[in-house]
Each structure stands twice: as C-alpha cells, then as structure tokens.
C-alpha cells in the first residue's frame, strides 16, 4: 500500500488513525450542517388518526395536498395504523422480539403509503420505498411533482429494544422526522386527529389543557402521561441540527395543513 | 452455510435515518452496534468483537503507555466512569442496558492466534463487559 515513488499522491485523512469513539475526536466534528433539500416539506399522515378513517378523512386531505402542490414541494409519509397494532398483538403473543415487530410494522405502513401514492399518482406524486427515497428523492423531485414514502424507518431487525415493553420505539413519526432532519426540510408537519398537544388526553380528560408551543427538552421533563407523537421524536429534536421543530396539526380539519405550510400558528409547535 | 457460518454486513441499515449524535457528526451506530443488534434479535449464544487490541483499557493503549488493561467490568460501571476513549461504540453500552438476550460482550485480539477460539470456548480472554442488572430489562419487558 505504501509508495515512495516520487510524485505519488499521498492521501492525508484526519480521521484515518483516530479512534472514532474518542470524545475529543467526536467533538472536533461539530460544525454547521449543509441542508441537502431545504425546499421540501415533510407531511406525515397519521395511520390510526387519519388513514384508518378511510375516504371521509383521507380524500379531503389529499385534495388539500394537491391544492398546495404548486406552491410547495411536498414529501408525504404515511403511518401504519390499526394493522400494526394487530400484528404487534399477535407478534407479542408469539414471543417475537422488537426487531421482528419493527419489520412487520414497516410492511403495514407500506400498505398505507402505497394507497396514498395511488391516489396522488395522477397529480404527479411518485412512491419511493425505503432504499429509493434515500437515493432517488432529489432526482424524483426534479422529474415528478411530489413524493410519497413509508413513514416507518427501515430499522427492521436492527430496531432498538426499548427500555420498557417490546413495541418498536421508532415508528412513522420518528421516520418522517428523520427524513426531514437529514434533508434539512423547510418544515415537518405531523397530521393527527387531535388539535395538537395537551397536558392529558383530550379524548378522555375534559380538563386537558392545550399547549401551543413548547421546547422538546421541557416537554421531556414534564413527563406527560400521553403524547400525540412517539416520545423518541422529542429526543431526536433535542439533537436536531437542521429540522429544529415539528408541527402537530389536526388533519381532519380542512385548511389546517395549508395554514401549517404557510407558517401560520396552528396546532402545536415543538421546537429544539 | 454448509460450513456453519455466514458473513453479514456489520453496519445497521439506518442510512439517512441514522439519529444524530449528541456531539459532532460521526454516525454513532456503526458496525459494533449493528452486530450487537443482530446478536440481540436472534438471541445469540455469544457476541464476540475481534479487534487489534487485547480488549478494553483505561485509555487508548496505542497512544498512552500508562493505559491499564481491564479484564472484566460491568456496563453500569463503565458508563459511570465515562472514559474519554473506549474499545466499543458507546451506543452498544446503552443498548446493553435494555437488551433482553445479550448479557455480556467479549473483546479479543484478532492478531493473536487462539484468542477467538478461547472466547468461543467460554474462556475469559480479552475483556468481558457484562450487564450487572439484566433483571431490569427483563422486568420492564413484560408487555
């Protein structure tokens, strides 16, 4: 490998002989991050909250997505909904590990994403499965008029065993957020069936108070009994470099998505 | 497969979905983490890391002549010491706390013939990092 030939090009690489576990080496890599696709907006359609309600909930929302297509670049993720709950319950009963449950959840989520893609196809949206959204999103957005992806991240058998229970911690909220973070998206909007974040579940507790805006670290510290999003998203937000906030809005209310895309105060903003 | 062995990719498939590290920009979950999670999800008999050192030291033995070898240590103690450098990715230590199957991991020097065989035979070569409180993960595991 070594060449003493005069004029030979020797590659000097600053990490070549370093331990990548060394704290000083790690700290030396801290610097501003380039946004790969800063114009895209990530829209996550909730599985249980939107998709499972069928045409009554889904079709008006897709119409609103298409209505915003000319103004904004939209990349749409979908969650798995009730089918993932069912496959979890069967998988848990059979003693399957978290990694197997994560693999199953991604297959359920792919079904919802595919249905969304079919309905948006005529408006120029393309469906990109996990490896292709990584490789082809820039090219596809140059050629197509939007993209749809599977909200569940491709952690599969490598999903982390959670601290409590066996349910995979990285669901479609985390997957959609991470797509926004890595591409440096303009916004990450999570569409649910509640108006945003409350101090308790508004469906069961009439005293639940609405929270319009809150920091992720503060929200973690408050240890609320229920959240409308996966808790891991809060940890990801604390370490955000580009996508420094998410907005949770009620996707069942017409106009909410448009207002969120326009940057108006709607729903709940959780920021870094 | 007919030799009873397969080779797999060490890196986990997180790709663009890799979580940010707390500090810096180096992906925190690399081949140590990927292999640990394969061992965990399949409930493997052993998780052995083959490196170019005899295992864990108090500092990087390649740079610090005063570095002392650590033959056996609990993951809880190792996290509490919070060393500047380690033989393994920190993500593996965090995952050990919640792992249901893998209760210890072993590090051997692949440049020394016989060490891997000794580790497979259950001998205490290199370094063993063990979970001193595996019940914590199991107690929490009940769905």
What pLDDT shows up at residue B139?
63
Cα B140 from Cα A241, distance rounded (Å): 32
Q: Which tens digits make up the pLDDT trace of A33-73? A: 999 999 999 999 999 999 999 999 999 999 999 999 999 99
**B25 contacts in chain A (CB < 8 Å):** 29-31, 33, 241
CB A187 within 8 A of CB A260: yes
Identify the domain containing residue B34 by its residue range. Answer: 15-141
Examine the pLDDT at A3 and tell me if it is beyond 60: no
Give the minimum alpha-carbon distance from A194 to chain B in angstroms, rounded to a whole number.
Answer: 27
Tokens describing residue A172:
């479609």
The answer, for A14 touching chain B at a CB cutoff of 8 Å, is no
Residue A256 scores a pLDDT above 60: yes
What is the reported pLDDT for B136? 76
Residue B32 contacts residue B88 (beta carbons within 8 Å): yes
**What is the CB-side half-sphere exposure of residue A247 using CA atoms within 13 A?**
23
Contact (CB<8Å) B20/A179: no
- The set of residues, in sequence order, having a beta carbon less than 8 Å from that of B31 and lying 6+ positions away, is B10, B11
Q: In the 8-state DSSP scheme, what is residue B65? A: T
Q: Give the residues across from A40 on adjacent strands.
A: A73
Asked if the structure places residue B37 within a domain, the reply is: yes
Which region among A67-81, A129-143, A257-271 has the lowest average model confidence (pLDDT)? Answer: A129-143
Whether A35 and A103 have beta carbons less than 8 Å apart is answered as: no
Cα–Cα distance, B4 to A151 (Å, whole number): 37
Q: At residue A146, does pLDDT exceed 60?
A: yes
C-alpha closest to that of B103 among B43, B53, B56 = B43
pLDDT score recorded for residue B138: 66
Q: What is the mean pLDDT of each run of 10 residues along chain B (143 residues)?
A: 82 93 94 97 96 93 91 98 94 96 97 97 97 78 47
A98 pLDDT more than 90: yes
Which residues on neighbouring strands pair with residue B70, listed in sequence order? Answer: B56
Interface of A with B in 128-187 (CB under 8 A): 131, 134, 153-167, 170, 175, 178-179, 181-183
B39: in domain:
yes
From the list B20, B100, B143, the residue facing A240 with the nearest CB is B20
Q: Is B135 on the interface with A (CB under 8 A)?
A: no
CB pairs under 8 A between A and B: 115
**E strands of A195-253, at which residues?**
197-198, 210-211, 213-215, 245-250
When CB atoms are compared, the residue of A33, A98, A158 closest to B25 is A33
Nearest to B141 among A19, A166, A183 (CB): A166
CB A53, CB A200: distance < 8 Å = no
Contacts of B14 in chain A (CB under 8 A): 153-155, 158
Q: Where are the domains of chain A?
A: 33-271
Q: Name residues whose C-beta falls within 8 Å of residue B25's C-beta, 6 or more positions apart in sequence.
A: A29, A30, A31, A33, A241
- CATH number of the structural domain spanning residue B65: 3.40.1160.10
Residue B2 lies in a domain: no
What is the structure's pLDDT at B143?
Answer: 44
CB of A103 closer than 8 Å to CB of A157? yes
A239 touches chain B (CB under 8 A): yes
Q: Å from B2 to nearest chain A CA?
A: 24
Identify the closest residue of chain B to A165 by CA–CA distance: B141
User: Do the beta carbons of residue A25 and residue A19 sit within 8 Å?
Assistant: yes
Q: Does residue B4 fall inside a structural domain?
A: no
Cα distance between the two ends of chain A:
46
Say how far apart CA A270 and CA A214 lie, in whole Å.
5
pLDDT of A2 over the 80 cut? no
Q: CA quadruple A26, A28, A30, A36: dihedral positive or negative?
A: negative
Tell me the pTM: 0.91
**Do residues A216 and A165 lie in contact, with contact meaning Cβ atoms separated by under 8 Å?**
no
| The listed CATH number (3.40.640.10, 3.40.630.40, 3.40.1160.10, 3.30.160.270) that belongs to domain A33-271 | 3.40.1160.10
Task: Please tell me the total count of domains within chain B.
Answer: 1
B-chain CB neighbours of A33 within 8 Å are: 25
Q: Max Cα separation, chain A?
A: 79
Tens digit of each residue's pLDDT (9 = 90 or more) over A159-200:
999 988 999 999 999 999 999 999 999 999 999 999 999 999
Q: Test A158 with B143 for CB contact under 8 angstroms.
A: no
Higher-scoring residue by pLDDT: A74, A225: A74
Q: Which long-range contacts (CB under 8 A, 24 or more apart) does A163-168 make?
A: A163/B97, A163/B98, A163/B137, A163/B140, A164/B140, A165/B140, A165/B141, A165/B142, A165/B143, A166/A92, A166/A97, A166/A98, A166/A101, A166/B141, A166/B143, A167/A88, A167/A98, A167/A101, A167/B143, A168/A98, A168/A99, A168/A101, A168/A102, A168/A105
Tokens 């590990």, located at residue: A97
- Could you tell me if residue B8 is inside a domain? no
* Spatial distance between the Cα atoms of B78 and B87, rounded to a whole number of angstroms: 11
Q: Which of B86, B90, B88, B12 is nearest to B49 (CA)?
A: B88
Contact check, Cβ <8 Å, A161/B89:
no
Q: Identify from A157, A161, A241 which residue to disrupt to test chain B contact, counting B C-beta atoms within 10 A and taking the largest count.
A: A161
- How do beta strands B127-130 and B72-74 pair? parallel
Q: Which residue of B has its CA nearest to A182?
A: B16
Does A166 sit within 8 Å of B13, measured CB to CB?
A: no
**E-strand spans in B13-141?**
48-51, 56-57, 69-70, 72-74, 104-109, 127-130
């Amino acid at each position: 490998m070594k060449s003493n030939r005069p004029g030979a090009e020797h590659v000097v690489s600053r990490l070549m002989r370093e331990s990548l576990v060394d704290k000083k080496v790690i700290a030396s890599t801290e610097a501003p991050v380039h946004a790969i696709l800063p114009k895209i907006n990530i829209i996550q359609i909730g599985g249980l909250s939107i998709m499972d309600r069928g045409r009554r909930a889904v079709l008006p929302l897709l119409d609103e997505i298409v209505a915003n297509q000319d103004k904004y670049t939209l990349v749409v993720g979908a969650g798995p909904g009730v089918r993932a709950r069912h496959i979890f319950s069967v998988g848990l009963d059979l003693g399957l590990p978290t990694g197997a449950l994560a693999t199953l959840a991604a297959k359920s989520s792919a079904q919802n994403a595919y249905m969304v893609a079919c309905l948006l196809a005529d408006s120029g949206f393309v469906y990109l499965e996990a490896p292709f959204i990584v490789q082809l999103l820039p090219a596809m957005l140059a050629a197509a008029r939007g993209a749809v992806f599977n909200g569940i991240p491709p952690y599969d058998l490598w999903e982390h065993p959670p601290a409590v229970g066996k349910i995979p911690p990285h669901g479609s909220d985390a997957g959609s957020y991470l797509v926004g973070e890595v591409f440096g998206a303009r916004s990450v909007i999570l569409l649910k069936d509640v108006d945003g974040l409350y101090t308790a579940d508004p469906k069961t507790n009439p005293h639940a108070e609405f929270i319009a805006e809150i920091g992720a670290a503060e929200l973690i510290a408050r240890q609320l009994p229920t959240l409308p999003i996966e808790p891991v998203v809060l940890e990801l937000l604390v370490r955000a470099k580009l996508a420094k906030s998410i907005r949770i809005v009620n996707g069942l209310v017409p106009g909410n998505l448009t207002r969120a895309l326009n940057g108006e105060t709607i729903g709940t903003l959780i920021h870094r | 497969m007919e030799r009873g062995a397969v080779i797999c990719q060490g890196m986990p498939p997180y790709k663009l979905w890799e979580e940010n590290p707390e500090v810096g920009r180096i992906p925190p979950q690399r081949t140590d983490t990927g292999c640990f999670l394969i061992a965990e999800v399949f409930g493997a008999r052993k998780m052995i890391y083959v490196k170019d050192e005899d295992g864990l030291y108090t500092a990087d033995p390649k740079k610090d002549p005063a570095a002392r070898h650590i033959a056996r240590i609990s993951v809880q103690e190792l996290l509490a010491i919070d060393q500047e450098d380690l033989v393994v990715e920190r993500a593996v230590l965090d995952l050990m706390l919640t792992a249901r199957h893998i209760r210890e991991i072993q590090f051997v020097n692949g440049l020394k013939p016989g060490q891997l065989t000794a580790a497979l035979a259950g001998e205490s070569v290199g370094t063993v990092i063990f979970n001193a409180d595996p019940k914590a993960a199991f107690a929490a595991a009940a769905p």
